[in-house]
Structure 1
């Protein structure tokens, strides 16, 4: 028997070929490789489960993100990168969802060299340097895509981004740009923003007043208002952006304002994560200490679950 056949015969005994595994032999190869394709190990069931258990009150997020990411990663030859834009008020789960995506898509999670996060406050703080930032950002994106087409780029706090800056990456978001030596169409871009949050909150409140249950809200109820809110607001990075004009965003994901029972779930989850136990009275007290709107009805949390962790010690 040749050496190749001997090796193939031994692989099942060594546990290197798994029945039903989509990558089989490549997992053995990855143990000897630092390839970016090897670090990209989507765990879609894990992502779906974590979102269901720990992201409270966001049925649209679970539906849109899980479906969109599954279709993208299971496509061996996508026509363009996956572009997602998360919009909503503070404390509704945008950062948490982004973190889960990184954790379940890349073997090394946030430590992966193929995950790149940008903050306008840290990376682009001075408006007078805008032209230099444009050159740097385009160079960073192209350089990293040349190194690894299977990269993820996260742009946080888009509402604080200098208008006009983000448009330099437009060529990387569509189907026509060529980055030599790599399939850049396998990249993922995520934008996170509070912009559009006011529109989402107002629309959700209007629907509530019209007796439409929060869980009945669909993307079509909110999409137009969100896009108008971010495109026409000069105080955010998507103002008059070609990314929106050219319809380059694949998934516009609205994060709805949370009701008090969602906040209670956040409180219970946070207390449990600290290895503590709390009575229903404590959970109720923490939830009631948070501001809600409209003031006369106290329906939706003004800060989501943002301040839950800092409030808990006062009630334990």
Structure 2
């Protein structure tokens, strides 16, 4: 049985002033600012053709993006968290997401990737990393409110760094000169991988199809697993 991973929507806005789907083009996004040219239909097609056994990811990702992009004035940034074992497609789906959101795809200067191993390798430098990360996020949001921040291997991230990111995910942070609530934050983590696979295994034992798994079947187990990982750190 192939491995599974799950998308958790940590902070999806509730829409106000929604737009009609036919208006899904540049006029909706302030003249495609920062090369932001989302094509959700193409993303959905790409997911259907290239990602297998991950029905929850496809359903939740497309739904969340449509709600977020149809909202003229988002109440919060869109926050997506991918959980599961290595090799289950988290990074691949993240790449597809970026490909269909920005004109230059993964080469876009408005897509910012962070790896704890590459960017924050030394525990003794956490205080400096915290200052740097705060300025990096705030500076890039000032340059482009439609920035996307992708954090890989969140299970290896120093806890203090996570605390720096958290204020940018809410509704009350202030970034002068930018509507930071248009930004997208993506977190990729191995945490919860065992829990997700246990849910899939139990469904298999009960002779249920994988596609019968709903988000509510996995979110509580992922939450417990992530909290347990944090307590061990």
Give the shorter-chain TM-score range.
0.7 to 0.9
CA contact (8 A) 1:118 1:154 kept: yes
- After superposition, the Cα gap between the structure-2 partners of 1:187 and 1:25, relative to the gap in structure 1 and judged at 3 Å, is closer
Q: State the Cα deviation string for residues 19-62 of structure 1 (Å, max 9, x = none).
A: x76557899x96xxxxx715000011100000001001111011
- After superposition, the Cα gap between the structure-2 partners of 1:94 and 1:235, relative to the gap in structure 1 and judged at 3 Å, is farther
Q: Which residue of 2 aligns with 1:233?
A: 229
CA contact (8 A) 1:119 1:157 kept: yes
Give me the CA root mean square deviation. Answer: 2.1
Deviation at 1:212, TM superposition (A): 2.4
Q: Which residue of 2 aligns with 1:56?
A: 52
- After superposition, the Cα gap between the structure-2 partners of 1:164 and 1:215, relative to the gap in structure 1 and judged at 3 Å, is same
Alignment of 1:189-208 (within 5 A): 189-208=185-204
Q: Which residue of 2 aligns with 1:223?
A: 219
- After superposition, the Cα gap between the structure-2 partners of 1:104 and 1:173, relative to the gap in structure 1 and judged at 3 Å, is same
CA contact (8 A) 1:163 1:235 kept: no
Alignment of 1:62-73 (within 5 A): 62-73=58-69
Deviation at 1:89, TM superposition (A): 1.1
- Distance in 2 separating the partners of 1:112 and 1:89: 27
Deviation at 1:230, TM superposition (A): 0.8
CA contact (8 A) 2:53 2:210 kept: no
Aligned residues: 212
Deviation at 1:100, TM superposition (A): 0.5
CA contact (8 A) 1:160 1:235 kept: no
Between Structure 1 and Structure 2, whose CA radius of gyration is higher? 1
Structure number with the bigger relative contact order (C-alpha 8 A, sep ≥ 6) is 2
Deviation at 1:104, TM superposition (A): 0.2
Q: Which residue of 1 aligns with 2:76?
A: 80
Report the TM-score when normalising by structure 1. Answer: 0.63
Q: Which residue of 2 aligns with 1:161?
A: 157
Select which of 127, 131, 144 maps to 1:148: 144
Q: Which residue of 2 aligns with 1:46?
A: 42
Q: State the Cα deviation string for residues 234-267 of structure 1 (Å, max 9, x = none).
A: 388xx7xxxxxxxxxxxxxxxxxxxxxxxxxxxx
Q: Which residue of 2 aligns with 1:262?
A: none
- Distance in 2 separating the partners of 1:111 and 1:61: 24
CA contact (8 A) 1:159 1:235 kept: no
- After superposition, the Cα gap between the structure-2 partners of 1:38 and 1:139, relative to the gap in structure 1 and judged at 3 Å, is closer
Select which of 168, 173, 178 maps to 1:172: 168
Gaps of 5+ in 2: 1-21
CA contact (8 A) 2:34 2:110 kept: no
Q: State the Cα deviation string for residues 259-294 of structure 1 (Å, max 9, x = none).
A: xxxxxxxxxxxxxxxxxxxxxxxxxxxxxxxxxxxx
User: Where has structure 1 moved over 6 Å in runs of 4 or more?
Assistant: 24-27
- After superposition, the Cα gap between the structure-2 partners of 1:25 and 1:196, relative to the gap in structure 1 and judged at 3 Å, is closer
Alignment of 1:10-159 (within 5 A): 37-159=33-155
Deviation at 1:215, TM superposition (A): 1.2
- Distance in 2 separating the partners of 1:52 and 1:60: 12
Q: Which residue of 2 aligns with 1:185?
A: 181
CA contact (8 A) 1:195 1:230 kept: yes
Deviation at 1:167, TM superposition (A): 1.4
- Distance in 2 separating the partners of 1:21 and 1:72: 14
- After superposition, the Cα gap between the structure-2 partners of 1:207 and 1:131, relative to the gap in structure 1 and judged at 3 Å, is same
- After superposition, the Cα gap between the structure-2 partners of 1:24 and 1:41, relative to the gap in structure 1 and judged at 3 Å, is closer
